[in-house]
Structure 1
């Protein structure tokens, strides 16, 4: 194991305080930060993603922030490729990488590898599946999945919308169940790393308060103006992965499809809050799932994490 490279993974749901914790570790001088966030990769999407400010990024540089436009697609496979390259580069500079973020699919892909040769996302196919869900309901889409991939049907619930979409997308593109393809195909696991996994898992009530306060701050400092600027600069639509980010989807719909009244704005803000809470719930679920297969240290508060991480890496 001595020749394996250490990698610190710092995970947690949105608004849990993980970024501030990573920045504190960065100040010790022997770390570099890699963002593990599917929204922070997009340029010009700053307020709604809670992206570190330009000043914060200058003080605490993060790799994999602002690397593509909102019109482009960034996959988990691309993340693993970029992250492995950066991890090697950071170690070559004599430092240790801290991977910090809340996109659990990216962490899972790095920890466990990805099935190779699965088809890339096809947004026309995804749009067809979502259109069916709008017409007939998600139960109907879920039943379609159960017919073509019974194992996936057992694994997923009707509420697992993104996973259902991906499974049906793969079946429509290949004619094969995604569970069959995943079982048959080799994993590309980066064995040369030793992962040290840490997770902030705050009390849900406290986290919901933080989420609500963060969203209020976002509206106050001009999140809607940011989305209006994005619409002017880019040819956006709600099928783009960038516009599926919580907050952006609701703001885009509000600007493009509503009468912009105070009532509609309040409704949009409530939808954004609900969507962000649902995101946090999914992040908790992902983390619990990852804990079943990997060693983790978990913390209820940022203070607990600070004390332990100082001991481990101070």
Structure 2
């Protein structure tokens, strides 16, 4: 299939707090794009502060998709994300606009870029129940260590508290004898799209400072109260949604298991570690062109570098409104 026959797909990735939001708005305006959230947690209603959702009034009239599409007790999956994205890409393309995935959930984004095939075969309910019981008795860290022994690559990418995915990775190895990482590496990384992926990065110290600043802002906006509302509404502590950063750390405080300052310290640590895992994932992806966006004063110059990458990839035949103002914020 030639490039002219393949739908275009623009993608912006990078670790949490690197500044994707600010850049994505300017990019979308210039390239006549509609944004598809590539964040696995922004799909949940009522989880706004901890997932850093951009309020509608700050979206500058740009359509945003896959935000607030399900309740917090729904086990949203990568396969569901992939299916919804495929439909959205076709719809956005039919409107004469550019589908634009923005986010940091590596497997979700990569599954769409390269049309991963997900098989439901290879399940063992008794084994899953055994691993659940093991985690209840020994703790999530012990379960995660079991995964590290058989599949260190997946263990590096999965947080110990992401119990569902840790158990799934163990189950894949138990049933098939092949690790989840090996299965993912074996996917045919051939895109059905004319693909342009831009990755944002910053110097590590600067990124970590932004992470801590963002968490302080979330707390000031009412993160604790948001988590408390979800708990009162009956969202189970083990729900996939409640394993998200900012939720799994605050719940122990609300349950009286630790003081707030300890919970916040853990949240900042976990978020730094998450950013590191995101960078590790993206650096193993093919086709990414990286832009170092360090230094808040360089927003305009960085934006021009991104535009040049997109123009080069799409061969200048997209609508590029070069006369529009490129002045923008520093992003989120």
CA distance in 2, matches of 1:79, 1:198: 20
State the distance in 2 between where 1:93 and 1:138 align. Answer: 47
Aligned partners of 2:147 and 2:169 also within 8 Å: no
Return the alpha-carbon distance in structure 2 between the equivalents of residues 76 and 117 of structure 1. 12
The alpha carbon displacement at 1:116 in A equals 3.1
Aligned to 2:276: 281
Contact preservation (8 Å) 1:30, 1:96? yes
The number of residues matched between the two structures is 297
CA distance in 2, matches of 1:283, 1:121: 29
Cα–Cα, structure 1 residues 282 and 187, in superposed 2: closer, same or farther, change >3 Å?
A: closer
What TM-score do you get using the length of structure 2 for normalisation?
Answer: 0.79
Cα distance, 1:98–1:183 mapped onto 2, change above 3 Å? closer
1:177-256 matches, cutoff 5 A: 177-179=177-179, 191-233=191-233, 235-256=234-255
| Cα displacement string for residues 126-178 of structure 1 (whole angstroms, at most 9, x for unaligned residues) | 633533552883576247x63xxxxx35x455785456532213356xx3234
When residues 109 and 127 of structure 1 are mapped into structure 2, their CA distance, relative to the original with a 3 A threshold, is: same
Output the CA distance in 1 between the equivalents of 2:206 and 2:124.
36
Any gaps of 5 or more consecutive residues in structure 2?
Answer: 312-319, 321-332
The answer on whether the counterparts of 2:154 and 2:169 sit within 8 Å (CA) in structure 1 is no
Residues 247 and 275 in structure 1, CA contact (< 8 A), matched pair in contact too: no
Partner residue of 1:299? Answer: 291
Moved more, 123-132 or 16-25: 123-132
The alpha carbon displacement at 1:193 in A equals 0.8
Distance 1:135 1:284, change over 3 A: closer
* 1:125 to 1:283, Cα distance in 2 relative to 1, 3 A: farther
Alignment match, 1:268: 263
Task: Name 1:37's counterpart in structure 2.
Answer: 39
TM-score normalised over the length of structure 1: 0.83
RMSD of aligned alpha carbons: 3.1
Contact 1:12 1:18 in 2 (8 A): yes
Higher helix share: 1
Distance 1:190 1:158 in 2: 25
Residue of structure 2 equivalent to 1:309: 306
